[in-house]
């Protein structure tokens, strides 16, 4: 998810991010919070201004929950395949970022060296 967001919005992925994310690359394995949701929220933190991340996170989670009635991996897996969850997360993430901030504002606020 992070790599795709970085490519779409032309943002440099911080060094060692992919290594750091190895622990959730196949989910958490607990049936609780979905790793695709977590990585989507991490993407918001990576590309959007700090003062906007909290409200964007809540908007993202609300949109996802309204559509799927849960944020729990175990509930989601009973109704939708993981690859489709990832695709839905990407769709909602793009909608939230583009609608609330606009691409220029997100990119202009980056503090990544």
User: Which pLDDT tens digit goes with each residue over 51-83?
Assistant: 888 999 999 999 999 999 999 988 998 888 989
- For residue 74, give every residue at least 6 positions away whose Cβ sits within 8 Å of its Cβ, in sequence order, or none: 31, 32
Position with higher pLDDT, 112 vs 92: 92
Give φ, ψ of 111 to 5 degrees: -115, 15
Look up tokens 């977590």; give the residue.
38
Neighbours of 112 (CB within 10 A): 10
pLDDT at site 65: 95
Q: What is the DSSP letter of 21?
A: G
Between CA 26 and CA 38 the distance in angstroms is: 12
Beta bridge partners, 33, equal 72
pLDDT tens-digit map of 3-55:
788 788 788 877 777 777 766 766 676 778 888 899 899 888 888 888 888 99
- Listed by start position, the domains of the chain span 2-108
Query: In the predicted model, what is the mean pLDDT of residues 105-110?
Result: 57
Can you give the pTM of this predicted structure?
Answer: 0.78
Residue 78 CA neighbour count, 13 Å, CB half = 9
Give the tokens for residue 14.
């911080």
- What is the C-alpha radius of gyration for the chain, rounded to an integer number of angstroms? 14
pLDDT at site 105: 59
């Amino acid at each position: 998810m992070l790599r795709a967001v970085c490519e779409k919005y032309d943002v440099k992925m911080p060094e060692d991010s992919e290594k750091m994310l190895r622990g959730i690359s196949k989910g958490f394995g607990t049936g609780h919070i979905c790793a695709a949701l977590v990585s989507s929220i991490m993407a918001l933190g990576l590309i959007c201004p700090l003062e906007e991340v909290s409200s964007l996170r809540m908007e993202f989670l609300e949109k996802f929950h309204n559509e799927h009635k849960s944020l729990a991996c175990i509930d989601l897996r009973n109704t939708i395949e993981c690859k489709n969850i990832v695709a839905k997360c990407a769709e909602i993430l793009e909608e939230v970022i583009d609608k609330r901030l606009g691409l220029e504002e997100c990119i202009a606020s980056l503090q990544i060296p």
